[in-house]
């Protein structure tokens, strides 16, 4: 695999160059702002679990990884971009099982490989690369919806945050999927909106792990 091989996957990129995707690149500031805001907010809470701070830091790394991809746009930076997203998703799954099911970390970590198998099952009916590559994010959407439903059944207030995150994610996923299809009408594409809305999605997901206002928390 040639890691330096150039890629052109989005409507905005019409040629090579670091500044060929200015909106896609600049919109990664949303992740960095979300990271900074969350770290400050979590510090002020005082009772925030350590893993929420790790997730906030991962949001910042997602922004940097995505920025590298939308500037250098090659196979190597694509891997970096996907790596940080995968780390966030699978770590959050483990955190969810720890926080809401009360599992010890040794068992909660098993949820991460379990989610890999879940993802394979979700994507199995669709061909690789379907939906402009958005098929790879369907497991995250379905998993988020199932988590929200589980918490709603328990009448846990965190269900509202995960439900809102799932709703925002549906919109952002639709914008990512339609990026190339809408090029003629929207030359800038819609991928930059995917970044902006995903920063909100990941922020809501991270905030869902905070203990109730009473200070009661499960660790």
How far apart are alpha carbons 42 and 21 in whole angstroms? 33
Question: And the tokens for 215?
Answer: 């200070």
Whole-angstrom Cα distance, residue 104 to residue 98? 6
pLDDT at res. 216: 44
- pTM for the model stands at 0.94
40-82 per-position pLDDT tens digit:
999 999 899 999 999 999 999 999 999 999 999 999 999 999 9
Span 88-136, pLDDT tens digits: 999 999 999 999 999 999 999 999 999 999 999 999 999 999 999 999 9
Torsion of CA 119, 123, 124, 128, to 10 degrees: -130
Could you give the CA distance from residue 206 to residue 156 in angstroms, rounded to a whole number?
15
Domain boundaries, the chain: 22-207
165 touches 208 (CB < 8 A) = yes
- Summary mean pLDDT of the chain: 94
| C-alpha span between 38 and 19 (Å, rounded) | 29
State the pLDDT at residue 6: 84
CA 127 to chain centre: 22
């Amino acid at each position: 695999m040639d890691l330096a091989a150039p890629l052109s996957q989005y409507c905005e990129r019409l040629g090579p160059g670091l500044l060929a995707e200015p909106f896609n690149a600049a919109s990664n500031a949303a992740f960095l702002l979300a990271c900074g805001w969350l770290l400050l907010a979590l510090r002020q809470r005082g009772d925030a679990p350590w893993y929420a701070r790790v997730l906030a830091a991962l949001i910042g790394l997602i922004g940097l990884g995505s920025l590298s991809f939308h500037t250098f746009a090659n196979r190597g930076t694509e891997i970096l971009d996907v790596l940080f997203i995968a780390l966030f998703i699978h770590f959050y799954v483990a955190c969810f099982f720890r926080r809401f099911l009360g599992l010890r970390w040794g068992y909660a970590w098993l949820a991460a490989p379990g989610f890999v198998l879940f993802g394979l099952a979700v994507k199995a009916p669709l061909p690789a690369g379907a939906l402009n590559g958005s098929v790879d994010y369907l497991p995250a959407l379905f998993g988020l919806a199932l988590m929200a439903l589980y918490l709603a059944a328990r009448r846990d207030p965190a269900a509202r945050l995960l439900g809102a995150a799932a709703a925002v994610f549906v919109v952002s996923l639709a914008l990512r999927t339609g990026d190339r299809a809408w090029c003629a009408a929207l030359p800038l594409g819609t991928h930059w909106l995917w970044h902006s809305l995903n920063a909100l999605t990941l922020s809501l997901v991270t905030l869902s792990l905070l203990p109730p206002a009473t200070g009661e928390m499960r660790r």
